[in-house]
Structure 1
Amino acid sequence: MSNSQKSLACQAPESVLNLSPEAQKLSGRIALITGAGRGAGRAHARLLAARGAAVAIVDIDEDVARATAADIVEEGGRAIALGVDITDRALAERCVAHVAEQLGGLDILVHNAGLIYSMTGLEQTDDANFNRLLAINVHAPLYLTRAALPYLRQSRAPRVIFINSQWGQVPDGHSYAYMVSKAAQLGLMKTLSKEFVSEGILVNAITPGAILTRMVPDEYIEPEKANIPLGRLVHPEEIAAAVAFLASDEAAFIAGQVLPVNGGALLVGI
């Protein structure tokens, strides 16, 4: 990227300087969202599409990816679906290239895919589970972001957004595979931000508390609520609103930051 391109990429959008109500709109932008077939990822995809973005629904389960894409199209949006195991480097790279070719580029990359974590102590932590969570939470975002760089550099508003967890900030003393992988993911986010912010590529993370999706077993809902000052779990749409904000022109001066969406859980040390 030339110096003039860097300068242009780092300028504040006119819509922000004028406090335009259009600043939240994402018309003409292209987003790739992992784990977007169901749950919170589905909510992210639907909201970004409603704001005008074309969205690529990437999920290891192609059937749910297709269903979500079909719903978005039915609602008047533009979407494509891909069934991909993003922990496979070659598949992840081909996925990004395919999305850029089909949709005409890439502006927004949302690392949302995740796994249900096991509540185990150190001695009970399974090596295979530990490695699997590192693969999905650290390796896959690295592969995808690296593959996306050529397209993000061509974007006028490039964004990389990690859906992390409050446990990435404050570990609970067990669930090693999940806690360590989420903490490592935050380190990856900050390192990417520091390297690419001068090119105008804004990399940030959202750290939700427990989200009201199938990933939280029924028996954990009440105990989780007891740790949240607002007294409830966060809804997927509330995380999606934070994603839409970080993807928008209104967030054009936010880089390398962690946005907690946890109902005040960190106030009481979870």
Structure 2
Amino acid sequence: MSDMSGRTAVVTGAARGMGRTHCLALAARGVAIAMVDLDEAELGQAVQEVVKAGGTARPYAVDITSGAAAADLVTRVAADFGGIDVLVHNAGLLFSLTGLADTDDQDFRRLLDVNVHAPLALTRAALPYLRSSSHARVIFISSQWGQVPAGHSYGYMVSKAAQLGLMKTMATEFAPEGILVNAIAPGAIRTRMVPDDRYEEECRLIPIGRIGEPQEISAVVAFLASDEASFVTGQTIPVNGGALVVGI
């Protein structure tokens, strides 16, 4: 994969799990990382890990569900790094495994705020910098549940399906300007979103016979951010160990 030195990426939900490994994967290819998360303490540790591995990173403890906060974040990142080339919309919420009838209205709004409104606000704010970049990329970390109903977690599924619709709309609108927009739809990945007591059940359902590791999603993030993905836009890339093949 080509070297990406000189580029800057903003990664949300960067303090732990997939967000942290996305930062490590991009930093290993020369990308400077603006790491965004609400958990200031854990975010600091994640930044230290990236720097210790030889990367360049700075922490930004920001709630970007506010459009004003997203705009302020973009201004700060551009001042610190000189521009923005890549957005990785990784931050996400799941909440409970309830059906729609049992989903609390406030929880549902919060799901939409984090999974849909925040990526929209951040992308809007970053547009002037993306338009001036020769390597502009917007990458959504969605979910296979945004593609296929799981039979539970309906609020989460609705928000992730909306996220994929937002991605396709952005891809269509921004393609003429050279801004490439794609999504990754992970299946079961070893993060805090998958409780330990569900690992065995998840493994039985997945054709490969195991759940995925965060680094396996990060490898696709790095590809989509690279020059090798220069003809890829508007796509949802499933990374799920074959789960969708058997309809789960």
TM-score, normalised relative to structure 1: 0.90
* Distance of 1:208 and 1:155 partners within structure 2: 28
Residue 123 of structure 1 deviates from its aligned partner by: 2.1
Q: Deviations over 1:22-75 (max 9, x none)?
A: x43211110000001100000000110011000011001111111111121122
* Distance of 2:102 and 2:166 partners within structure 1: 27
Among residues 18, 27, 34, which one is paired with 1:49 in the alignment? 27
Q: Deviations over 1:175-231 (max 9, x none)?
A: 111000000000000000000001000000000001101121112212221221001
| Structure (1 or 2) with the larger CA radius of gyration | 1
* Distance of 2:92 and 2:33 partners within structure 1: 19
2:198 is aligned to: 220
What amino acid is aligned across from residue 92 of structure 2 in structure 1?
A: G
Q: Judge conservation of contact 1:28–1:52 (CA < 8 Å) in 2.
A: yes
1:61 pairs with 2:57: no
For structure 1, which runs of at least 5 residues remain unmatched after alignment? Answer: 1-22
Q: Judge conservation of contact 2:143–2:186 (CA < 8 Å) in 1.
A: yes
Q: Judge conservation of contact 2:100–2:155 (CA < 8 Å) in 1.
A: no
1:256 pairs with 2:230: no
Moved beyond 6 Å, runs of 4+: none
1:95 pairs with 2:69: no
* Distance of 1:118 and 1:54 partners within structure 2: 35
1:127 pairs with 2:108: no
1:70 pairs with 2:48: yes
For structure 2, which runs of at least 5 residues remain unmatched after alignment? Answer: none
Matches within 5 A, 1:1-270: 23-270=1-248
The secondary structure found in structure 2 opposite 1:24 is coil
Q: Judge conservation of contact 1:66–1:82 (CA < 8 Å) in 2.
A: no
What amino acid is aligned across from residue 267 of structure 1 in structure 2?
A: V
Q: Judge conservation of contact 1:24–1:245 (CA < 8 Å) in 2.
A: no
Q: Judge conservation of contact 1:34–1:41 (CA < 8 Å) in 2.
A: yes
Residue 122 of structure 1 deviates from its aligned partner by: 2.3
Alpha-carbon RMSD across the aligned residues, in angstroms, is: 0.9
